[in-house]
Amino acid sequence: MPTIYVLNGPNLNLLGKRQPEIYGSETLEDVGLLCRDVAPGYQIRLLQSNHEGQIVDWIHEAREDACGIVINPAALTHTSVAILDALNAFDGPVIEVHISQVHKREPFRHHSYVSMRADGVIAGLGIEGYAAATRRIVSLTAE
Ligand code: DQA
Domain 3-141 has CATH 3.40.50.9100: yes
Q: Give me the residue spans of the domains in the chain.
A: 3-141
Averaged confidence pLDDT in the chain: 97
Residue 98 falls in the annotated catalytic set: yes
Phi, psi of 47 (to 5 degrees): -135, 145
The answer, yes or no, to whether any atom of ligand 1 lies below 6 A from the CB of 102, is yes
Give the pLDDT of residue 112.
Answer: 98
Model confidence at 75, in pLDDT bands (50, 70, 90)? very high
pLDDT (mean) for 104-111: 97
Q: Is pLDDT of 12 > 80?
A: yes
Give the pLDDT of residue 73.
Answer: 98
Q: Is pLDDT of 41 > 80?
A: yes
Phi, psi of 122 (to 5 degrees): -125, 130
Instruction: Quote the percentage of the chain above a pLDDT of 90.
Output: 99
Q: Could you tell me the distance, in angstroms and rounded to a whole number, from the CA of residue 1 to the centre of ligand 1?
A: 30
Three-state SS letters, the chain: CCEEEEEECCCHHHCCCCCHHHHCCCCHHHHHHHHHHHCCCCEEEEEECCCHHHHHHHHHHHHHHCCEEEEECHHHHHCCHHHHHHHHCCCCCEEEEECCCHHHCCHHHCCCCHHHCCCEEEECCCCHHHHHHHHHHHHHHCC
Q: Could you tell me the distance, in angstroms and rounded to a whole number, from the CA of residue 141 to the centre of ligand 1?
A: 27
Model confidence at 141, in pLDDT bands (50, 70, 90)? very high
**Size of the chain, expressed as the number of residues it contains:** 143
d(CA 61, CA 140): 20
Give the pLDDT of residue 82.
Answer: 98
Q: Computed over its alpha carbons, how large is the radius of gyration of the chain?
A: 14
pTM across the whole model: 0.97
d(CA 136, CA 21): 27
Contact 60, 20 (CB under 8 A): no
Model confidence at 92, in pLDDT bands (50, 70, 90)? very high
Give the pLDDT of residue 81.
Answer: 98
The answer, yes or no, to whether any atom of ligand 1 lies below 6 A from the CB of 11, is yes
Contact 5, 66 (CB under 8 A): yes
